A = this chain, B = another copy of it.
Amino acid sequence: MPAPRQISIAVIGAGGVGKCFLSQLSQLASTLSRSSSIPTYLSLILLSTSKKSVHYADYKAISDWQSELQSSSSSPLSPKDLADYLSKAPGKPILVDNTSNQSIADSYPIFLENGVSIVTPNKKAFSSTYKLWTQIFAAAANGTGTGGYIFHESSVGAGLPVISTLKDLVETGDEIRRIEGVFSGTMSFLFNSFQPTSGGGGKFSAEVKTAKEKGFTEPDPRDDLNGLDVARKLTILARLAGLKIDSPTSFPVQSLIPKELENVGSGDEFLERLPEFDDRMEELKQGAEKEGKVVRFVGAVDVVKGEAKVGLEKFDKSHPIAALKGSDNIIAFYTKRYGDNPLIIQGAGAGGEVTAMGVTADLVKVIRLLQ
């Protein structure tokens, strides 16, 4: 019987995704410790938010974390100190970054070079400068390096198998020609309500308000409406498909924030004044309606031409993008092997549980590779 394996895990972030992840981690730890082939012990050795941090000397029941974090008086470690701490951990070290923090993302190469593996839904590391992208995959064992592994399924489409599928297509020698879809749960909900294929739908500003009330937008809805979230996801997919995209602002991205409201003080003031601009969106809606089409906010990468684009487009009502429901994402891969009918992946692309699921699935993959 082989010796049991020991894995040391540090988790940063305990927000919506972080909470769900910790619950899934607790269940996974219990399953793996009872494995009949090679028992694996997952030790949570550190848990930290932007304000507080808890260190665990020994394995702890992961369910206790909330009260312990509350009563902790330790500040979080700097990324460099955290990398150092993890690389000296007793078991093989994994960092789970459940934040959307840029400075942690900037430090990924240091973690990887020190043999720390990373799983994360944080888009920032993969959609900022091309230089950071190169540094990360030059260090990673699943890039061209010999450091830790890095997996980031949930950085696009939450738990949907988008990144793993694209990697499989590329690694087995398929030619990616075009990737297109609805990459934002917020934008999906907004346009499926604004212009349902069955007709009707409210004014644009009213739908933005409803989306915010239902918790489908960021605290300031402009952070969704500026298109940057979609541009970041598209940057990641375009780079995986082989394009050297400089940054998420290096290609055309249509913002749905009226120029006049870009600089108003608060999200609330923005929402109050948005109705003044409803006519513009209404005109687009009616124009599409006359052609038997609907308006949707999509992203597309034309890999052959080397171009990416984010913004509004019109789709036939029978098109899968038009027929999307709720806040679902849809991603279509057009490739040489799949021909005219793309490989399509569809489903919830946001939400704590499904985002955490992508992180947990990545964690399982890294644990298998670390054996």
Are B353 and A337 in contact (CB-based, < 8 A)? yes
Interface of A is mostly: loop
Closest residue of chain B to A352 (Cβ to Cβ) is: B337
The one of B24, B168, B341, B360 in contact with A348, judged by C-beta atoms closer than 8 angstroms, is B341
On chain A, the number of residues with a Cβ less than 8 Å from chain B's Cβ atoms is: 53
Q: CA A349 – CA B369 in complex, angstroms?
A: 29
**In the complex, A82 has a CB within 8 A of chain B:** no
Nearest to A364 among chain B residues (CB) is B171
Q: Are A168 and B172 in contact (CB under 8 A)?
A: no
Q: How far is the CA of A174 from the CA of B361 in the complex (A)?
A: 11
Tell me whether A347 and B357 are in contact (CB under 8 A). Answer: no
A203-228 vs B, Cβ < 8 Å mask (1 yes, 0 no): 00000000000000000000000000
Q: Across the interface, which residues of B come within 8 angstroms of A182, CB to CB?
A: none
CA distance A345 to B157 in the complex (A): 13
CB–CB B347/A173 < 8 A? no
A337 / chain B contacts, CB cutoff of 8 Å: 159, 348, 351, 353-354, 357
* Interface pair B347/A343, CB less than 8 Å apart: yes
Stretch of A45-53, A139-147, A298-306 contacting B (4+ beta carbons < 8 Å): A139-147
Residue A258 interfacial (CB < 8 Å): no
Chain B residues lying within 8 Å of A339, measured Cβ to Cβ, are: 348
Q: Is there a chain B Cβ closer than 8 Å to A4's Cβ?
A: no
Any B CB within 8 A of the CB of A338:
yes
A164 within 8 A of B: yes
**Residues of chain B contacted by A36 (CB below 8 angstroms):** 144
A114 lies within 8 A of chain B by Cβ: no
Give the distance in Å from the alpha carbon of A106 to the alpha carbon of B209 in the complex. Answer: 60
Q: Is A78 an interface residue (CB 8 A)?
A: no
Q: Which residue of B lies closest to A324 (CB)?
A: B341
* Listed A/B pairs (11) with beta-carbon separation below 8 Å: A37-B145, A37-B146, A159-B343, A171-B364, A172-B364, A337-B354, A339-B348, A343-B347, A344-B345, A344-B346, A344-B347
User: What are the 7 A-B residue pairs with the smallest beta carbon separation, nearest first?
Assistant: A343-B347, A168-B361, A344-B346, A172-B360, A36-B144, A337-B353, A27-B173
